[in-house]
Amino acid sequence: MASASVNPLKSAAGKVSAPARASQWLQSGGAEVWVKFLLALVGLGLAFGCALFSTISRDAGNVWATVILASASLVLATLVGLVTVPYLAKRVAVERLRETFDYEVTRAGIVYVLVTLVIGIAALNTGNNLLYIIVAAMLAAILVSGVVSAWVLRYLELDIKLPEHVFAGRPVLGRIVLRNPRRWLPSFSIRVVSTRKKRKKAVKQWQWESTTFAFPFNRPPEQQWLRLPDKRLRRVTILPLPPGIFQGMAYFPFLPPKAELSADLELRFEQRGRHREDSFGLATGFPFSFLIKTRHITLPRELLVYPRIEATDQLFEILPLVRGEWESFVRGRGAELYRIREYMPEDSARHVDWKATAKSGSLKVREFAREDERRLCIVFDNPEAGLISEQAYEKSVDLAASLAWHFAAQEAEVSYTVSGGQRMRDLHDFLAKLAVIEPGGRSETLRPSITGEYNIVITARDRGSLPPALWNSSYFVFV
């Protein structure tokens, strides 16, 4: 978590001092805007004065003075139009972009407008002053609703906090923090929603794209006489958007001024991969619910969803076999007890377990595991594209993640690798790799690992293509 910093321009009560406000105003470009605005007023005033005096000179018969003053008026007006007006228009556009609102008329709003229209027609037909007053009050309510809802949403600050490690198919909690920095005005009935447009199918749209105009047309680029930047309109296919993060809604009925409220929202992702949300929305129907007004807030958030970690039937079938082969591979003398068995002539007397011998009546010895060689490597052999079906591929990825998660909790030195990649020691690095992996791995020969390491290989290769040296120190899972 980021540590809070203290602003020296703030007073002890938390209020922003006058120098701080002036500094923020200067940094935001407020001074430059006012300078441009005043210069525009001065320029337009001079242009108006020159035009006025040119008219007086024309009436007086002074041709040269008329031409000079009229030309000066035209030049000043042109300069103002070219220098200051575009800048001020751009600033207004930027401010509007920061406060973008969407409007959605509700059923109650449609009924209200229809009733207002009927009463208005009746007032025009009858000339009744009372009906005119009622129509004016109803129209004023619509205007008040639009202004109040905009003020309720303006200046609110939003923050989305997401968990660090997320697995597909498992619900997690995300935290939504909403702040009201205003001093006096509270907010009512605020909903935090997603602004992502849901599109399940690919659609075709017309888009402009950059190209180069060249002449002559059929010659190589180095032999063409003319090459200029150009634009062309093409019909392109827009693929469906990747899965987002925010699927639900958080509701805040009342947010006092100078307050901060938070809400936990359950998130659940059915697919592994990278999930991204670029913007969120603050929506309200306050005060009359005639329309739902949504304010867009640009707040990029990205979440990496790991593959599923599930105890499937396939995993339950594999684990006992893996354990048996692994323990047989690492069996030897060490500090950890492996098993108690019958005494054999080649065994040392110092390993005799006298308590077990006294209970059974026959010599028993203790057998230990070799801790220094208790190493395991989980290998995901990424198949080539089209070698197996998409469903089988996702199952193999989930199986590799489940095995990695299971053996990470064992008392062994576990490493992880993907075919063609480097060896990883951190579990979450391996899960992050599996979260975004796609078919298309290079067809490389699997090589045996270092001495003393046991491999669990998830592969789609034929049994005959596997190196014989790997069979003695590996357990293969064929998908």
295-333 confidence digits (pLDDT tens): 988 888 889 999 998 876 677 677 766 666 666 665 544
- Integer Cα distance of 462 and 439 in angstroms: 17
Tokens encoding 422 = 């480097």
Query: Could you say which DSSP state residue 10 is in?
Result: B
Nearest to residue 456, comparing CAs of 284, 324, 286?
324
H or E segment at 475? strand 474-478
Tokens encoding 187 = 């907010």
Q: Is 14 helix (H, G, I), strand (E, B) or coil?
A: coil
Q: CB within 8 A of 24, min separation 6: which ones?
A: 16
pLDDT for 262: 94
pLDDT for 256: 93
Dump pLDDT digits (tens) for 22-73.
555 445 555 666 777 788 788 888 888 888 888 888 888 888 888 888 888 8
pLDDT for 91: 60
8 A C-beta contact, residue 378 and residue 400? yes
Q: Is 377 helix (H, G, I), strand (E, B) or coil?
A: strand
- Integer Cα distance of 247 and 268 in angstroms: 9
Count of alpha carbons within 13 angstroms of residue 150, beta-carbon side:
12
Q: Which regions in the chain score pLDDT beneath 70? A: 1-33, 85-100, 197-203, 239-243, 312-313, 316, 320-338, 346, 348, 350, 368-374, 411-412, 420, 441-452
- Integer Cα distance of 246 and 335 in angstroms: 51
8 A C-beta contact, residue 191 and residue 178? no
Query: Could you say which DSSP state residue 245 is in?
Result: S
Q: Peptide bond preceding 287: is omega within 30 degrees of 0, i.e. cis?
A: yes
pLDDT for 5: 38
Which class for 170: exposed (0-12), middle (13-18), buried (19 or more C-beta within 10 A)? middle
> What are the residues facing 114 on neighbouring strands?
none
pLDDT for 15: 43
- Integer Cα distance of 191 and 286 in angstroms: 11
pLDDT for 157: 92
Q: At 59, which amino acid appears?
A: D
8 A C-beta contact, residue 302 and residue 274? yes
Report long-range pairs for 453-456 (Cβ below 8 Å, ≥24 apart): 453/373, 453/375, 453/376, 453/377, 453/415, 454/325, 454/326, 454/329, 454/330, 454/375, 454/376, 454/377, 455/376, 455/377, 455/378, 455/379, 456/322, 456/376, 456/377, 456/378, 456/379, 456/403, 456/407
- Integer Cα distance of 309 and 167 in angstroms: 7
8 A C-beta contact, residue 273 and residue 242? yes
8 A C-beta contact, residue 260 and residue 171? no
pLDDT for 3: 38
pTM over 0.75: no
8 A C-beta contact, residue 10 and residue 17? yes
